[in-house]
Amino acid sequence: MPLSGVPGVSILRPVKGTESAFVSCMKSTFEQDYPNFEIIFCIKDANDPAVPVLEELCSQYKNVPTRILTGQAASYGQKGYGPNPKINNLAQGFDQAQHDILWVIDSNAWVDPGTLGRAVNKFRGSVGLVHHLPVAVSFSGWIGSRLDEMYLSTGHAKFYTGINAVGVAPCVMGKSNLFRKSSLLAASPDGFRYFSHFISEDQMLSETLWEHGERTCLVSDLVIQPTKDETFIEYWFRRLRWIRIRKYVVTGATLVEPFTESIVSGIYGGWAISALTGISAWSYFWLHMSLWCLLDYAVYHSIRARAIHEIKTYYDSPATINTMKFARWLYIWLAREVLALPIWIAAMCGSSIVWRGQRFRINADNSAEPVSKLEPLSF
């Protein structure tokens, strides 16, 4: 197809610091097998350590139109912008993008070279937003990174793909999203500015497009997040943040979330089976947990096999990303399952979160506001 017939894409990558496998994640954008795209890196601070790294990459890929925008277009309280640092950071890129299709992809995400082409091909009919399944791959074996990897490759992957397959409502994570700038401006005249008032800008953006007849499409490509030295505490607070944000966005789904986890559903399932049939509740519970574990084991290895294959195809990877032995896998899986309910309870008991070093309070209308660092953060 001649270049004039290929839809142009502006890739927006918000950057703050250099995260795990930063160079490889950035290179994966430059190496997209697509003939018509530009890359815009949005960085708040001109002295950010990522700037010289990106400048070096730009010099290596001179054939790719690239810009590095430093400084936010606006900050909280200015020009009607809210407290969301990611949206405020992206505002310049949104305004200066040359193409109608925008691909917003986080700086800690790696993608296969064919990802962009396959995503653009999905913009047909009523599809107005294309997104990808996020998957974490541990590069270090640290407990926090392993727990993240386990969650994203088992429970989250099952429900995220399941909800999107049914397609009765939008369910979108902001790790990697493509949408048309013109569609967003038609649905929200303020553009990105409107979403700066919410921390859950990904879900709010998808709901705004959905309400204007634009549907979402989850494609088969994975967006891989390499994780390294992540502690248990970091995992705990990340999950806490996700749930506290979701409880005002999708309240009903968040309230029933514990009943979709293995242990709670096994307990009430065992009680029901025992009451109805007289079968031992414990016998049912252990059978239930065993089958759930086997299913998660299959899902985990199916996703992970593809993720590792894609990563190793394009750059050398640490040996630690190789598949865990079953005993180690079972230990991480059990830890993830046992932690699910305590994290949910802790999340439901508070409304403050920490994101990118900033503390926010999530209000009942899903808006966010910065709070003093002196205010205690509930567990």
The stretch 202-226 carries a mean pLDDT of 94
The reported pLDDT for the residue numbered 374 is 47
Distance CA 224, CA 241 (A): 21
Torsion of CA 187, 189, 191, 196, to 10 degrees: -100
Q: Let me know how long the chain is.
A: 379
- Whether 15 and 48 have beta carbons less than 8 Å apart is answered as yes
Distance CA 95, CA 188 (A): 14
Closest CA to 243 of 258, 229, 233, 225: 258
Work out the burial of residue 65: count CB atoms within 10 Å of its CB; fewer than 13 is exposed, 13-18 middle, 19 or more buried.
middle
The reported pLDDT for the residue numbered 151 is 97
Distance CA 275, CA 209 (A): 46
53-60 own/partner pairs: CB under 8 Å, 24+ apart: 53/18, 53/22, 53/23, 53/26, 54/15, 54/26, 57/23, 57/26, 57/27, 57/30, 60/30
**Structural tokens at position 325:** 């032995």
User: Any idea what the Cα angle at residue 222 is, between residues 125 and 157, rounded to 5°?
Assistant: 95
Among candidate residues 202, 221, 316, 365, the one labeled active-site is: 202
Domain ranges across the chain? 7-133+166-225
List pLDDT tens digits, range 90-102: 988 999 999 999 9
- Whether 193 and 81 have beta carbons less than 8 Å apart is answered as yes
**Structural tokens at position 23:** 């160079």
Topology at the third CATH level for domain 7-133+166-225: Spore Coat Polysaccharide Biosynthesis Protein SpsA; Chain A (3.90.550)
Is the pLDDT at 316 greater than 60? The verdict is no
Helices marked H in the chain: 22-30, 50-60, 85-96, 115-120, 143-153, 155-166, 181-187, 192-195, 201-211, 232-249, 251-255, 262-277, 281-314, 326-348
Identify the weakest region by mean pLDDT among 171-175, 274-278, 284-288, 315-319: 315-319
Model confidence band, residue 315 (pLDDT cutoffs 50, 70, 90) = low
Which of 96-110, 180-194, 303-317 holds the top average pLDDT? Answer: 96-110
Model confidence band, residue 365 (pLDDT cutoffs 50, 70, 90) = confident
Number of other CB atoms surrounding residue 182 within 10 Å:
10
Is the pLDDT at 12 greater than 90? The verdict is yes
- How confident is the prediction for the chain on average, in pLDDT? 90
* Residue 324: DSSP 8-state: P
% of the chain with per-residue pLDDT over 70: 91
Q: Decide: helix, strand or coil at residue 369.
A: strand
- Whether 158 and 150 have beta carbons less than 8 Å apart is answered as no
The stretch 171-180 carries a mean pLDDT of 96
Model confidence band, residue 2 (pLDDT cutoffs 50, 70, 90) = very low
Closest CA to 204 of 162, 154, 248, 153: 248
Residue 202 annotated as catalytic: yes
